Structure 1
């Protein structure tokens, strides 16, 4: 059965991710477009470097054209945020990206975008899944040889998207800092865009892990502290100012600073929000999901602003940013965007903005983070993920989310929220979340406390209480 999670529809290739299921999802979208009367506005289709991504994009185009829907096919592997930007730029009704983002190489999937380049709301994706699951093979309207069809527009240029990001940057400040940067696209699709932007700004750019490898070098294409050892080594060996990594489809970001430290996405959010408000003079709130640092709240409060909390899933962040005219929105998994850019996460734009921040400051990235700690205090997070089978999930659901059976915590509990999984708010400003992932078959436990030891203690207590990891 086709099911959309917080980051689109993702399945194991050859199991759930098949030609038949891709065609069903697209046919359901075509039917929806006819019902909404938006067929003539067309769609944007793009793909990443994963196994079968290009082929699946062509399967999708065959169905769109078979239904009379005009298609702009980005005919090269490209970043997901570029597809979102193109949907907005062309005024298309919908967009579709063939990607499983940061999932393991065995996975592929589809992301659906709506008007303006926004992640599709959960109501839309639920309806598409329901409709797709009811379709038989004979219900699919498709044609072959779509590349020569007048309804198909082929686009290979990335220049419009790249230029839109460069127009937002203080290129002059970056040029005169002569930064040395190591770029790690993690065998994904960010190299062309990021390298073009950084080299145009006169940065010295060294690139690692750039070849096309559908197995992502045998590692998870997610930029975190455990997957960026090669980037850390390259930064230290070359004496670089920083290292930039992006996930498989370039919508998430990971950073190694000048001392070889992994800069957590929470830290990136805090740094950029402070920079936009304090140095660039922007005004407005911030938005984060429930599993992202509350240090962002401290930055907002210090500048007379508010930080809004929303459920996990970038669609919620985008919606709240639009509602509140927020300066920045992001999540602890590495995705963020800023006001005036696309309403979705973009690792290319975020990495470029971080380089501008370093250049204009005249300081090292490690120094800048030290200043944040002095201004806003410390907060340490522990993140754990536990896999399960179907019966185990049912038992965990019953115990945690039905019976509300929680451990006895060593810190005073202020309140408990159950809107999106479970979130425990502690009186000392710390918190812990327990929720099933919307993109992978894991239970995630996040905890943020004033010290790493306290966060680790509570995370371990939760794991022990539910028999996780045993």
Structure 2
């Protein structure tokens, strides 16, 4: 099977973000676009000759075709073996686990995470390193540099590999090993959690409702929740992965998972509800009549970690992304453990996890995880909650009420302004950045400002410095405002405003979050002038 060299040239716009390169599907299908970026990955990591890689994706449109391109390019560049999920499918946490379990040299994950799929949707390619986590800043920079200097790529002349059948085949000199995408991950979950306790909970009539959102977690959830743990048939809905996610948006939040919200807020609601996203690394948690914010969920997991067998001896430390609410900080203080504040992007947690400084970590964007893999993990979070509920015998609502009574409540919300004109969004950031030094001691919408800065991060493990990670304004009453541009959109700019207000209790712990945050919403507009500068009078998505 001879290969050939294809002459090419750099293509603008191939700078990877916090989780690889995400663009529209049409862009990835354009001549040389996917091939250029894959070759840039090979060049950026020092080549793949003799290496073993993991490959899989979330099943979105173009997933199968892209997987075959990656295989032919890996074979042409001398890779020794590629371990592929059956049907070119792997959830992101399952891929991370497989990289770690098999000791590979890294892996390629084909996904745009929670972004919509289909011909008019989005696609993405991400390289994860040998630790199973997203590429480090240094590797990401090398990959981007390679996209700007590329002159050619190698491609094997071969037919598509049959990825439907388990076992080994050869593509040129390279071994292609097709594995069950669920089995290894399911075995890992059984090691972490008390499956017997969860089975007993479900046997007592506890009802759950898991919305896989037509995405990759469906087969994992059905195998574990229904087939292994005994949840009633039909507890997992929308469980068959679809190339366009059933025409929906696979982002587990109250806007896009409205079907779940309506069910959990209805008259015959189950005891527990959850959802996961396109590639299986995010989660949404609900109880009967209650929505749990991702920030609160992270804090509850940390506060109750010793109920889970894998964390029975306690936590080495915890970490959260900077925009995530400071609810986790209060739990860490009570447990006398370190709490690290990092930039947004799971790769920043990797060093802390590898060094044993943190055990649990999470982001406000519905991602939580631990040192079991080096990615956030949606189904793991669901099982964590079920283990806590089984051990405590409390409802979700009672568990949250007890948590807020003990630690106080951080009312929290994120307002997203999507597809904003890039220049206008940059203008919002630049104008507020120019005022930061003068803000402390002044007021905004009647609230006194205690500090204002642009967040930067010095990694305590490797000493690397990350600047420009978002604008923060803190108030004397413990409230906080964060504004940053997101790196996950593919059209225009996504401006994100994070609002946080703290109530120590015992009064005021059961208000509607948007009502409780109304003064902060007014302060955000007074400081950032989003309506004036962008023409947007309201956010597109509120979570």
Q: Structure 2 residue aligned with 1:64, among 62, 69, 74? A: 74
User: Structure 1 residues 20 and 345, CA, compared in 2 at 3 Å: closer, same or farther?
Assistant: same
Using the TM superposition, give the Cα deviation of residue 121 of structure 1 relative to its aligned residue in structure 2, in angstroms.
Answer: 0.9
SS of corresponding position for 1:75: strand
Given the alignment of the two structures, is residue 176 of structure 1 paired with residue 242 of structure 2, yes or no? no
CA contact (8 A) 2:93 2:374 kept: no
* Corresponding residue of 2:9: none
1:257-272 pair list within 5 angstroms: 257-259=287-289, 261-272=290-301
Shift of 1:218: 3.5
> Closer, same or farther in 2 for the Cα pair 1:143/1:237, shift >3 Å?
farther
1:202–1:19 Cα change, 3 Å: farther
Q: In the alignment, is residue 197 of structure 1 matched against residue 224 of structure 2?
A: yes
Residues 253-300 of structure 1: CA deviation (Å, up to 9, x unaligned): 0112122x2221112101110011477341332100111010110111
Aligned pairs for 1:23-422 within 5 A: 23-34=35-46, 39-69=49-79, 70-76=81-87, 77-105=89-117, 106-136=121-151, 138-145=152-159, 147=161, 148-149=170-171, 150-151=173-174, 152-178=176-202, 179-199=206-226, 200-204=228-232, 206-235=235-264, 236=266, 238-259=268-289, 261-277=290-306, 280-339=312-371, 341-386=372-417, 387-401=419-433, 404=436, 408-409=443-444, 410-418=446-454, 419=456, 420-422=469-471
Q: Cα gap change, 1:368/1:89 in structure 2, threshold over 3 Å: closer, same or farther?
A: same
Q: Residue 33 of structure 1: CA displacement?
A: 4.2
Q: Gapped runs of 5+ residues in structure 2? A: 1-11, 162-169, 457-468, 503-515, 538-543
Partner Cα separation in structure 1 for residue 336 and residue 180 of structure 2: 45
Give, in angstroms, the shift of residue 11 of structure 1.
0.3
CA contact (8 A) 1:99 1:249 kept: yes
Name structure 1 gaps, 5 residues minimum.
none
Distance of 2:31 and 2:232 partners within structure 1: 43
Q: Does the 8 A contact of 1:208 with 1:231 survive in 2?
A: no
Aligned partners of 1:380 and 1:455 also within 8 Å:
no
Aligned length: 465
Summarize deviations over 1:427-456 as a string: whole Å, max 9, x none. 222211111101112111111012433333
Q: CA RMSD in A?
A: 2.2
Please say if 1:437 is aligned against 2:509. Answer: no
Cα distance change on mapping 1:174 and 1:22 into 2, 3 Å: same
**Pairwise CA distance, 1:198:** 1.8
Q: In the alignment, is the contact (CA less than 8 A) between 1:10 and 1:17 conserved in 2?
A: no
* Larger of the two Rg values belongs to structure: 2
Distance 2:522 2:313 in 1: 40
Measured at CA, do residues 460 and 242 of structure 1 come closer, stay the same or move farther in structure 2, by a change above 3 Å? farther
Closer, same or farther in 2 for the Cα pair 1:359/1:241, shift >3 Å? same
What secondary structure does 2:381 align onto? Answer: helix
The structure whose residues are more often strand, as a share, is 2
Are the equivalent residues in 1 in contact too, given 2:27–2:33 (CA < 8 A)? no
1:130 offset after TM fit, Å? 2.1
Distance in 2 of aligned mates of 1:343 and 1:181: 27
- Give me the whole-angstrom Cα distance separating, in 2, the residues matched to 1:396 and 1:227: 27
Contact 2:221–2:236, Cα closer than 8 Å, also in 1: no
Distance 2:450 2:406 in 1: 25
Q: Deviations over 1:4-40 (max 9, x none)?
A: 11122100111255462221122122234445xx632
Say if 1:311 and 1:237 are closer, same or farther in 2 by CA, change over 3 A.
same
Cα distance, 1:349 vs. partner? 1.1
Query: Residues of 1 paired with 2:45 and 2:237: CA distance?
Result: 42
Q: How far is the alpha carbon of 1:336 from its aligned partner?
A: 1.1
Q: Residues 286 and 396 of structure 2 are in contact (CA less than 8 Å); yes or no, is this contact kept in structure 1?
A: no
Alpha-carbon separation, structure 2, partners of 1:414 and 1:434: 17
TM-score (norm 2): 0.80
- Are the equivalent residues in 2 in contact too, given 1:197–1:352 (CA < 8 A)? no
Per the alignment, do residues 250 and 92 of structure 1 end up closer, same or farther by CA in structure 2, a change over 3 Å counting? same
Which secondary structure does the structure 2 equivalent of 1:271 belong to? helix
Which stretch has the larger CA shift, 24-33 or 291-300? 24-33
Within the alignment, does 1:3 sit opposite 2:15 as a pair?
yes
Q: Is the 8 A contact 2:219 2:239 kept in 1?
A: no
C-alpha separation between the residues in 2 aligned to 1:157 and 1:436?
34
Q: Is the 8 A contact 2:93 2:377 kept in 1?
A: yes
Offset at residue 401 of structure 1 (A): 3.6
In the aligned structure 1, how far is the partner of 2:334 from the partner of 2:346?
25
Return the offset for 1:166: 1.3
CA contact (8 A) 2:52 2:106 kept: yes
**Do the aligned partners of 1:273 and 1:327 also contact (CA within 8 Å) in 2?**
no
SS of residue matched to 1:140: strand
Deviation at 1:115, TM superposition (A): 0.9
Shift of 1:408: 4.6
Q: Distance in 2 between matches of 1:143 and 1:393?
A: 45
CA distance in 1, matches of 2:200, 2:367: 29
